[in-house]
Amino acid sequence: MGLVVALATIQAAGWVLTRSGSDLIERQQRYRDALEPLNPSGDAELEDRLGFSRLNDLLIEHLGWSDGQIQGDPPQLEPYSREPPGLGETLKPTAVVAAVTGHGTQMLMNALPPLMPLDQKISHGDHLWRVTPQERFERLLRETGVEAGLLFNGSQLRLVVAPKGESSGHLTFPLQDPAEVSGRLMFSGLGLLLGQSRVFFDPDGAWLADVLKASRSFQAVVSTALADQVLAALWNLLRGFEQAGQITRHQGKTLLGSMPDQDPQRLYRGLITVLMRLVSLLYAEEEALMPADAIYGQNYKVSRIFAQLQQDAAEFPDTMEQRYGAGAGLMSLCRLVFDGGGTTADYLPARRGQLFDPEVYPSLETPWLSNGVVCNVLRNLLLVNGEHISYRALDVEEIGSVYEGIMGHAVHPMAGRCIGLKSKPQGVKKQIITVINLDQLLVLDGGKRKKWLEGQAQASLPAKAARALKTWCNRPLQPSGFHLNLG
């Protein structure tokens, strides 16, 4: 959960996943043979659970570590023992891993009793701090300033990242799965991430600690880029509802009515509401707040809908604007969140609230939002530089910056043809898009167009573009009903 390692940083470090070969098969066989039953209480339900009774066995025998690289003597652990005030207990690791440079520590380890749940709230003895082992370990990492650690319970190995002042993340390996033939890539991935060479011997910049740090930097880039992409998604939504309005007019009906002319800000607020609904759903799905069964996963899950749209776009790139259904599916999901649904009251409880209330912006519920528009909107919300965005890893401030990125705009109707001009005026931090009335531009003499356009956009026009604009004739373009502009 949360961002731990970004694919872009793995590629930059030159890490390559081994997918086949006799050596991989032999190492997996040795791993399979080493698994042992984990059933300390004799519970019949747990008799098939396999794993390792000692973390050191896994690290040394199968990931290539040496015994000296794992420090577990009491004097070595004492500097990393903490007693947070008011909690009534001592937090301490079971082992530490020294930094590659020889100064400090790169990881803490915490080996739990076999099969102890990592995410189930428990309290130790008379202590009142009822939290999960994961939360205890994150607190220890932040208290000691060690940013990464390994949490182990025999059947699971979890890499945890919890830097001070940043969101935490973790990546869990179920230790029985890599022994299966179907789990060969998982076994290879375990070695790729936690093998001895990655943790200790790779060149500077390719160590595990370097990749974890670079992944956090990548997440900062993601939050900045996401703010711009959410604005692009807002433009796509506006275009989609304009097209939907044209379809309904051809059917003798109205979708937006007089809203664009008489109350354009209400239309603008409605578009923001649609985006915030999607962002909330993506966050809720990553936090496991939505149903986890196949019915929800295959029919309602936002990321699943996007995956299907991507496949459709690859197979039918020329007809995505004439295909429909995805938008209606997302609107049905928003209604389910508001009203609740499922076979039991706990399946998807009614959330109510203004954000998902379908009666607040009923005009924005239409079956004619094309799959092409929905795909572009979700692409802007889910991908940055080809990487999937982890909403769980975004801090509250970063989510806030996404919202701020679409504030300060307004919707204006435009009767004539228009184009969007990207520019970055002096003193403005981010690129803006100024909507230009194309009819007003082209009616001017060629020599006057550059000055007029630069005055509208408050930015200089490149020489090559200015020459092309001077000789540009009045060409037919599609009309635009309304547009976004800076308020």
How is residue 222 written in tokens? 């993601």
pLDDT in tens, 384-429: 877 788 777 776 666 776 777 787 777 877 777 777 777 776 776 6
Res 486: pLDDT = 39
pLDDT band at 464 (very low <50, low <70, confident <90, very high): confident
The rounded distance, in Å, linking the Cα atoms of 23 and 361 is 60
Q: What are phi and psi of 161, to 5 degrees?
A: -120, 125
Question: What mean pLDDT comes out for the span 190-206?
Answer: 90
Residue 302, token pair as written in the block: 């936002």
Quick check: pTM over 0.85?
A: no
Q: What is the DSSP secondary structure assignment for residue 50, as one 8-state letter? A: E
Q: Provide the pLDDT for residue 470.
A: 82
pLDDT-derived band of residue 231, with 50, 70 and 90 as boundaries? Answer: confident
C-alpha to C-alpha distance for 225 and 12, rounded to whole angstroms: 19
Q: Which of 414, 427, 413 is nearest to 459 (CA)?
A: 427
Residues recorded for the chain: 487
pLDDT in tens, 58-109: 999 999 999 989 999 999 999 999 988 877 788 999 999 998 877 789 999 9
Contact 194, 208 (CB under 8 A): yes
Do 368 and 247 meet the contact criterion of CB atoms below 8 Å apart? Answer: yes
> Would you give the DSSP letter of residue 426?
T
- Residue 375, Cα to own-chain centre: how many angstroms? 16
Amino acid at 219: Q
Confidence at residue 479, expressed as pLDDT on a 0 to 100 scale: 46
Determine the pLDDT at residue 42.
Answer: 64
DSSP secondary structure string, 344-360?
STTTB----SSTT-TTT
Residue 267 pLDDT > 50: yes
For residues 126 and 240, the model is more confident at 240
- The pLDDT value recorded for residue 300 is 93
| 272 CB-contact burial (10 Å; exposed 0-12 / middle 13-18 / buried 19+) | middle
* Cβ atoms of residues 100 and 94 within 8 Å: no
* The predicted structure's pLDDT at residue 478: 47
In three-state secondary structure terms, 473 is coil
In this prediction, residues 33-48 reach a mean pLDDT of 74
**Structural contact between residues 114 and 43, judged by C-beta atoms closer than 8 angstroms:** no
Higher-pLDDT residue of 128 and 469 is 469
Answer whether residue 39 shows pLDDT above 80: no
In the prediction, which pLDDT does 484 show? 46
Q: Read off the pLDDT of each residue in 234-254 and give the average, rounded to a whole number.
A: 90
Residue 163 has pLDDT above 60, yes or no: yes
Give pLDDT tens digits for 323-354.
Answer: 999 999 999 999 999 999 888 888 999 988 89
410 to 75, 236, 462: CA distances (angstroms): 64, 15, 28
226: three-class secondary structure by DSSP: helix
pLDDT band at 128 (very low <50, low <70, confident <90, very high): low
- What is the overall mean pLDDT for the chain? 86
pLDDT for 86:
74
In the predicted structure, residue 204 carries a pLDDT above the cut 90? no
